[in-house]
Amino acid sequence: MANIYTNAKVDLTTTSETVLYTAPSNSRAIVKSLLVSNDAGSAATLTATLTNAAAAVFSLFKVKSIDSNTTEQLLTEPLILLENEILKVTASDANELHVVASILEINRD
């Protein structure tokens, strides 16, 4: 069993739903931090979802407003992802938001 510290990051260049992170099939993951930075001159919104192994989608943040030229920490508590669960993000506007997640993977091998 190993603990693996990692991060996942994405520059949301489109308004399409984008995979930020997928928990490995042999690990559980603890998302400690979910930072969103808006580097544009106007506000944008972010939607974040969690998809489980049965393909059910759960809303984490629904149209969360991110002010222009600011960074927001979305999580106030750790978020646990089970094996193969997927964290996805969607921006309201292209080329404005960057998302970085700090993650601890707990590998069972």
What's the start-to-end Cα distance of the chain, in Å? 5
Q: What is the pTM of this model?
A: 0.94
Tell me the pLDDT tens digit for each residue of 70-106.
Answer: 999 999 999 999 999 999 999 999 999 999 999 999 9
Angstrom CA distances, 2 to 10, 16, 72, stand at: 25, 34, 30
Instruction: Using CA atoms of 23, 7, 96, 51 in order, give the dihedral in degrees to the nearest 10.
Output: 10
Segments making up each domain of the chain, as ranges: 2-107
> 109 by DSSP, 3-state: which?
coil
Query: Domain spanning 2-107 has what CATH number?
Result: 2.60.120.340
